[in-house]
């Protein structure tokens, strides 16, 4: 999916919501465990309930890989089921060198037809550039994350510049606003403002709203740009809003609440 198509979806749906598909067999409704593929049946119901309210889905590979071959099959079925107009972000946090990165890119962009992939840039250009060679695909680079441990490394200074700033500035040399996004955590609003100054036109994938306590209002106040420039992810707050047999209705209700708020912000652009 190219940038224009993504922006068009945002304004058509009045939403910049990304739904995280993190299916945990210990949390999904028990009646689904009786089906042949509980993970896919759970995801399918969530997608059916939310696809008119979001513009992207983000399956986290950890929840699939841990199940071996069956998990990969569930992942593939999920990817194939997501409506074509929705951006698909594989949250795999890959980052290696040489042919390894090339084959990771091939795996997610060609074999599974994902639109975007989260990338760990710690190994430098070798771990980022190979993901920028596929047309209409996105590298989503980890820049400033929402977890507590983010400050262990990301805020350390090198040459009087925080490492996350150095990552953004260097990555901007390799990619563009058309094929690179940055992961920007929602839990520190003042840092979102810093990120927006560093990358005024890039899209940000913003985790941390919902279960992690981030504020959508503050994310918008400090991070939105004239084309929106935001994909705000919510996982647990939506998919586990209701853990009964009516879980899909609970997910829809929570997604609608977020989308309605987003629609009000988009009116101002």
Q: In the chain, what are the domain boundaries?
A: 3-139+206-267
Predicted local confidence at residue 147, as pLDDT: 85
Which residue among 14, 44, 73, 93 is the active-site one?
A: 93
Predicted local confidence at residue 117, as pLDDT: 98
Which residue ranges in the chain fall short of pLDDT 70?
Answer: 210-213
DSSP 8-state code for residue 144: E
Has 93 been annotated as catalytic? yes
DSSP calls for 104-124: HHIIIIIIS--SEEEE--TTG
Largest CA distance in the chain: 57
From 190, 200, 260, select the one nearest 230 (Cα to Cα): 200
Predicted local confidence at residue 213, as pLDDT: 66
Query: What is the CATH number assigned to the segment(s) 3-139+206-267?
Result: 3.20.20.70
Predicted local confidence at residue 258, as pLDDT: 97
């Amino acid at each position: 999916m190219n940038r224009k198509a993504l922006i068009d979806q945002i304004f058509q749906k009045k939403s910049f919501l990304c739904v995280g598909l993190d299916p945990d067999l210990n949390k999904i409704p028990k009646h689904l465990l009786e089906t042949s593929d509980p993970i896919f049946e759970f995801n399918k119901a969530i997608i059916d309930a939310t696809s008119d309210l979001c513009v992207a889905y983000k399956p986290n590979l950890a929840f699939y890989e841990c199940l071996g071959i069956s998990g990969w099959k569930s992942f593939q079925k999920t990817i194939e089921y997501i409506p074509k107009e929705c951006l698909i972000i594989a949250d795999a946090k890959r980052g290696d060198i040489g042919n390894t990165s090339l084959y990771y890119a091939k795996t997610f962009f060609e074999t599974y037809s994902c639109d975007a992939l989260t990338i760990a840039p710690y190994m430098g250009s070798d771990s980022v550039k190979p993901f920028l060679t596929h047309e209409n695909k996105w590298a989503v680079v980890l820049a400033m994350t929402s977890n507590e441990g983010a400050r262990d490394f990301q805020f350390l200074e090198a040459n009087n510049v925080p490492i996350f700033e150095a990552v953004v500035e260097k990555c901007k040399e390799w990619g563009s606003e058309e094929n690179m996004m940055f992961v920007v955590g929602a839990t520190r609003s003042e840092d979102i403002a810093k990120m927006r100054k560093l990358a005024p036109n890039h899209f940000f994938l913003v985790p941390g709203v919902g279960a992690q306590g981030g504020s959508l209002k503050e994310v918008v106040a400090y991070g939105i740009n004239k084309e929106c420039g935001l994909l705000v992810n919510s996982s647990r707050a939506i998919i586990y809003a209701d853990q009964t047999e009516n879980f899909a209705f609970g997910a829809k209700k929570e997604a609608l609440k977020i989308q309605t708020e987003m629609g009000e912000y988009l009116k101002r652009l």
